[in-house]
Amino acid sequence: MAVPAWLALAIAIGAEVIGTSCLKACQGFTQLWPSLGAVAAYALTFYFLSLALKSIPVGVAYAIWSGAGTILLALIGFLVFRQKPDLASTVGMLLIICGVVVIHLGSHSKPS
């Protein structure tokens, strides 16, 4: 069964967010379970990103993947790790959200 490209991209984003959260928790790969979680999550990330790239242009997919990941990780940082973004970070993330929306809604390019 083929995974739809946008679903594959969403799974890649989710796995990347989990992997990066595990990187924070593994404390330089000194904690076994978070370290294994990071490696497994990044393996899933790149597998599903490669599936998404079959149908979504690489620039569009990467912009959405990195932008959405940045926003989700900032939210996790705030909720889980108690990290508070300053005004500049908040404005920058709002601009990222705007950029991802523009790319998603306005891009009509096709992968080669």
Q: What is the pLDDT of residues 58-105, one digit of tens each?
A: 988 998 998 899 999 999 999 998 999 999 999 998 998 888 888 878
Q: What is the pLDDT of residues 25-67, one digit of tens each?
A: 999 999 999 999 999 999 999 999 999 999 999 988 998 998 8
Rounded CA-CA distance 84/22 in Å is 19
- Of 43, 65, 39, the C-alpha closest to 52 is 65
pTM (2 d.p.): 0.86
| Lookup: tokens for 35 | 């370290």
- Of 42, 66, 43, 56, the C-alpha closest to 8 is 56
29: left (phi over 0), alpha (psi -120 to 50) or beta: left
